[in-house]
Amino acid sequence: MRTLLVADMHLSHDTPELNQGFYDYLTQTANGADALYILGDLFDAWIGDDLLDSPHPLGAVGREVIARLHQLSSDGTAVYLLHGNRDFLIGERFIAACQATLLADIEEVELQGMPAVILHGDSLCTRDNAYMAFRQQSRHPEWQAQILALPLDQRLELASSLRMQSGDANATKEDAIMDVTHDEVVSLMESYGVTTMIHGHTHRPKVHDLTVEDVPAKRYVLGDWDAQHGWDIVIEKADHKTAPRLRQFALSDPPSA
């Protein structure tokens, strides 16, 4: 009885070691688990499911990811995805091909019997006004439809430009602005009536202790993957108790359980 959660793999056509490390994780670690939750930013950028018909190298990565996740699902592990700030244009075609389930931006779930709220995490960074404005725009169906109507080459250029602009902007922002807002975390947990939150996005892996309605609570933050290391959270059910574990591991030797 085991559930796994990951986030921020940022797979791309120019990250072959990272991509292979993720594939190995699926076959060596995720296979046999009850469920795998991917909490956003599976890709460094995804600019529409028509990439799957393209000879562009990113399309090839997408097709390989689909094949791997489809196999994992066929072998009995339930696969769940939610959008991140870099792959919010993953669509129904991609999800269906993976045999996965697309979750809402904020989802209340039971993980081996433990109630929790899961999300990518960018919506919690409410002090970053510029990003929050972009997030509101980019999640609007009309804006997405306009972007998806552009030729593929233009979308690829736009994604590259947005990443560069984001990097330049983040270089001048205070760290606290780019992290989650504590009051937003507590308010969200109170609204769902849970004492466990799991998210990614901030690239600051840690287990935070906090108090929600006078009750001890925890916020688990997943780390981002690179060419050498990955991060996950493992939740196992033993003796009717859940035991979430945040762990880092070498991609060259992903854990078998």
Q: What is the pLDDT along the chain (257 residues), one digit of tens a residue?
A: 899 999 999 999 999 999 999 999 999 999 999 999 999 999 999 999 999 999 999 999 999 999 999 999 999 999 999 999 999 999 999 999 999 999 999 999 999 999 999 999 999 999 999 899 999 999 999 999 999 999 999 999 998 888 777 665 555 556 667 799 999 999 999 999 999 999 999 999 999 999 999 999 999 999 999 999 999 999 998 655 667 999 999 999 999 86
Please give the pLDDT value at position 176.
65
Please give the pLDDT value at position 173.
59
Please give the pLDDT value at position 76.
98
- What lies within 8 Å, CB to CB, of 227 at 6+ separation is 15, 17, 18, 21, 251
pLDDT digits (tens, 9 = 90+) for 92-144: 999 999 999 999 999 999 999 999 999 999 999 999 998 999 999 999 999 99
Task: Compute how many other C-beta atoms are within 10 angstroms of the C-beta atom of residue 143.
Answer: 12
**For residues 256 and 193, what is the distance between their CA atoms, to the nearest angstrom?**
34
CA nearest to 26, candidates 225, 241, 207: 225
CA count, 13 A, side-chain hemisphere, 3: 22
Please give the pLDDT value at position 240.
53
Please give the pLDDT value at position 214.
95
Please give the pLDDT value at position 167.
62
pTM of the predicted model, to two decimals?
Answer: 0.95
Beta strands 78-81 and 35-38, pairing class:
parallel
- What lies within 8 Å, CB to CB, of 57 at 6+ separation is 13, 14
Please give the pLDDT value at position 207.
97
Please give the pLDDT value at position 18.
98
**For residues 47 and 64, what is the distance between their CA atoms, to the nearest angstrom?**
16
Contact indicator for 94, 62 with CB cutoff of 8 Å? yes
